A and B are shown apart, each in its own frame.
Chain A
Amino acid sequence: MVKKGVPDWLNSSLWSSPQPPSSNDVVESHEPPASADVKSAVVESIVEPPVPVPPPSVTRIVEPPSSSVHSSTASVKGEIRDPLSSHNGNNNYGNTNFNNYNSEEENGISNNSSTAPIPAVGANTGAVVAPAASSLAEDISSQAQLLQELSRKIINMGELRRIASQGIPDGAGIRSTVWKLLLGYLPPDRTLWSSELAKKRSQYNHFKEELLMYPSDITRKLEKSSLENSEPYGESKGFLSRSEITHGEHPLSLGKSSVWNMFFQDTEIIEQIDRDVKRTHPDMHFFSGDSTVAKSNQEALKNILIVFAKLNPGIRYVQGMNEILAPLFYVFKNDPSEENAVSAEADTFFCFVELLSGFRDNFVQQLDNSVVGIRATITRLSQLLKEHDEELWRHLEITTKVNPQFYAFRWITLLLTQEFNFADSLHIWDTLLSDPDGPQETLLRVCCAMLVIVRRRLLAGDFTSNLKLLQHYPSTNISHLLYVASKLRTHVAG
Chain B
Amino acid sequence: MVLVLALGDLHIPHRASDLPPKFKSMLVPGKIQHIICTGNLSIKEVHDYLKTVCPDLHIARGEYDEETRYPETKTLTIGQFKLGVCHGHQVIPWGDLDSLAMLQRQLDVDILVTGHTHQFTAYKHEAGVVINPGSATGSYSSITYDVNPSFVLMDIDGLRVVVYVYELIDGEVKVDKIDFKKTTGSNT
A254 to B178, CA, bound (A): 21
Q: Are A267 and B180 in contact (CB under 8 A)?
A: no
* B105: Cβ under 8 A from any A Cβ: no
Give min CB distance, B178 to chain A, whole Å. Answer: 5
**What is the CB-to-nearest-CB distance from B114 to chain A, in angstroms, rounded to a whole number?**
15
A251 and B164 within 8 A (CB): yes
Query: Given A216-B162, A237-B125, A250–B177 Cβ distance below 8 Å?
Result: yes
User: Which of A214, A215, A237, A242 contacts B124, CB < 8 Å?
Assistant: A237
From A214, A235, A242, A252, give the contact of B26 (CB < 8 A): A252
Give residues of chain A (227-245) contacting chain B, Cβ–Cβ below 8 Å.
232-233, 235-245
**Shortest Cβ gap from B129 to chain A (Å):** 7
> Which A residues lie within 8 Å of B175 (CB)?
245, 248, 250
Known: A242-B165, A251-B3. A214 touches B177 (CB 8 A): no
Whether A232 and B179, one on each chain, are in contact in the complex, defined by CB atoms closer than 8 angstroms, is yes
Proximity bits, A246-265, B CB within 8 Å = 1, else 0: 00101111100000000010
**Complex interface residues of chain A between 190 and 221 (CB less than 8 A to chain B):** 214-216
Contacts of B181 in A (CB 8 A): 232-233
Nearest-Cβ distance from residue A219 to partner chain B, whole angstroms? 8
Chain B neighbourhood of A232, CB < 8 A: 178-181
- CB neighbours (8 Å) of B27 from chain A are 252
Nearest chain B CB to A356 CB, angstrom units: 29
In the complex, chain A residues 144-197 whose Cβ is within 8 Å of any chain B Cβ:
none
A252 and B28 form a contact (CB under 8 A): yes
CB distance from B158 to the nearest CB of A (A): 10
Given the known inter-chain contacts A216-B162, A235-B124, A264-B30, please indicate yes or no for A243 contacting B179, CB distance below 8 A. Answer: yes
* Size class of the contact patch on chain A: 20 to 34
The answer for the CA separation of A264 and B28 in the assembled complex, in Å, is: 11
What B residues does A241 contact at CB under 8 A?
178
A481 to chain B, nearest CB (A): 47
- Is there contact, CB below 8 Å, between B31 and A264? yes
Size of the chain B interface, CB-CB below 8 angstroms: 30
Chain A: CB-nearest residue to B129? A240
Taking CB as reference atom, which chain B residue is nearest A248? Answer: B175
Among A243, A250, A252, chain B packs the most CB atoms within 10 A around the CB of: A252
Tell me if A's interface is mostly helix, strand, loop or mixed.
Answer: loop
Q: What 1/0 flags go to A447-469 for Cβ under 8 Å of B? A: 00000000000000000000000
| Cα A215 to Cα B162 with chains together (Å) | 12
Q: Is there an interface contact between B124 and A233, defined as CB atoms closer than 8 Å?
A: yes
If A251-B164, A254-B26 touch, does A243 touch B125 (CB 8 Å cutoff)? no
In the assembled complex, the Cα of A242 lies from the Cα of B155 at a distance in Å of 15
B177 cross-chain contacts in A, Cβ below 8 A: 242-245, 250
A289 to B121, CA, bound (A): 46
In whole angstroms, what is the CA distance A405 to B122 when docked? 63
Q: Which B residue's beta carbon lies closest to that of A249?
A: B175
Q: How far is the CB of A336 from chain B (nearest CB, A)?
A: 36
Residues of chain B within 8 A (CB-CB) of A237 are 124-126
- Kindly identify, within residues 5 to 29 of chain B, every residue whose CB is under 8 Å from any CB belonging to chain A: 25-28
Q: Which residues of B sit under 8 angstroms from A239, Cβ to Cβ?
A: 121-124
Give chain B residues whose Cβ lies under 8 Å from the Cβ of A254. Answer: 25-26, 28
Give the shortest distance, in Å, between B29 (CB) and chain A (any CB).
Answer: 11
State which residues 97-136 of B face A: CB under 8 Å. 121-126, 129
Given known contacts A216-B162, A235-B124, A245-B164, A251 and B176 CB-to-CB distance under 8 angstroms: no
User: Smallest distance from the beta carbon of B33 to chain A beta carbons, Å?
Assistant: 11
Closest CB pairs A-B (n = 3): A252-B26, A242-B176, A240-B122
Write the residues of chain A forming the contact surface with B, with a CB cutoff of 8 angstroms.
Answer: 214-216, 232-233, 235-245, 248, 250-254, 264, 267
Q: Which B residues lie at the A interface, using CB under 8 A?
A: 1, 3, 25-28, 30-31, 121-126, 129, 153, 155, 157, 162-166, 175-181
- Can you name 27 A-B pairs with beta carbons within 8 Å? A214-B1, A216-B1, A216-B162, A232-B179, A233-B181, A235-B124, A236-B126, A237-B125, A239-B122, A239-B123, A240-B178, A240-B180, A242-B165, A243-B178, A244-B177, A245-B164, A245-B176, A245-B177, A248-B175, A250-B164, A250-B166, A251-B3, A252-B26, A252-B27, A252-B28, A264-B30, A264-B31
